[in-house]
Amino acid sequence: MATNAIARAIAAGHSLASVAEVVDIHGHGGPWYDFYVPSSDCESMLRMMDRLGVSAVVLAPHLSVGPAVTEGNDLAIEWSRRYPRRIFGYAVPYPHQPLELIKAELNRALDSGLVAIKIHPSTHNQPVLSDPYRVTWEVARERGTFILSHSWHGDSRCSPAALAEMAQQFPEVPVILGHSGGVPAGFEEAIALAKKQPNLYLDTCGSYVTGAWVRRFVAEVGAERVLYGSDMPFIDPRYSLGKVGLSGLTEEELRQVLGLSAKKLLTSAGACLA
């Protein structure tokens, strides 16, 4: 069944700590309005990471992708200071502010230790192709960091095509398509765009992602631009880890997807990894 050490460890439910370095590029934290999220505090998430052997997570608390960006960024700052090298935080912009305030909040959060930027054009109901997000990309370029965006096929606010247009306008800024477009039609769209646009990255986070799609991402885009993401604790991370780890990728490809791709981005952004 399991073809390499990483897959065998996952099938047996063993921590991956001794066989691969795992970095989760797509995490959240805290409660969320439309369903009960058990064990969403950062200590519980760390216990989960220890169980799975995940060395680090990059997260945006639900508060920041929801109703209170500044308080959410503060929470990310607090958690990343409390657990350095295990928890890294995304600075999130609130796109309905004046542009100067958006820029100021992002810089404040990045100055306070957050390492990259996350945007959620869907929950914040703001198309990515708009001035608030252009300012966001300008900050990312100035700070030499990357952007993770929620992406969803058919949602004009955050379709892979819209995000690819931003990636084209800002070729220095790596852009991770969170959920890789969300649904199979979105995966096709994301793959086609990533093949043309070298600063676009795909993540493995999502209900519709399967091992077959992960293999396809790697075959078409290259393992260096495919990143493991879980959505923890929005979604239980064990589903995502199983789909990636048992996908049939080689051990080398798994090492890249599960950790090395994210490490490279984080290191370029100045993050201090263990």
Partner 1 sequence: MFLFDANCHVGPWPQHPYQPRTVPELLEETQRLGIAKALVRHTWGWWYDPRAGNTALEEELRGRPQLLPCLAVSPLLAHEMGGEDSFLEAMRRSGARAVCLYPGAQHFVLARWCAGRLLDLLQERRIPVLLEKEEVSWAELYALASDWPLLRIVVLRTGYRILRQCLPLLQSTEHVYLDISYLADNEALEVICAAVGPGRLVFGTGTPRVDGAGAVARLAYAGLGEREKELIAVGNLEALLAGAMLD
Residue numbers at the binding site for partner 1 (CB under 8 A): 1-2, 10-13, 34-40, 48, 51-52, 184, 207, 209-212, 232-243, 245-248
Nearer to partner 1, 52 or 102 (CB): 52
Cα angle, residue 147 at apex, residues 68 and 32 outer, rounded to 5°: 35
Nearer to partner 1, 132 or 178 (CB): 178
Q: Supply 262's token pair.
A: 């994210």
Query: C-beta of 26: minimal distance to partner 1 in Å?
Result: 14
Cα separation of 176 and 167, whole Å?
Answer: 10
Nearer to partner 1, 84 or 248 (CB): 248
Q: Dihedral, CA atoms, 136, 139, 145, 147, nearest 10 degrees?
A: 0
Nearer to partner 1, 112 or 122 (CB): 122
Query: C-beta of 19: minimal distance to partner 1 in Å?
Result: 14
Query: C-beta of 161: minimal distance to partner 1 in Å?
Result: 22
Nearer to partner 1, 39 or 267 (CB): 39
Residues 6+ apart with CB under 8 A from 236: none
User: Are 52 and 257 contacting, i.e. CB atoms less than 8 angstroms apart?
Assistant: no
Query: C-beta of 228: minimal distance to partner 1 in Å?
Result: 13
Cα angle, residue 238 at apex, residues 237 and 244 outer, rounded to 5°: 95
Helical axes 211-221 vs 184-196, angle rounded to 10°? 20
Query: C-beta of 153: minimal distance to partner 1 in Å?
Result: 15
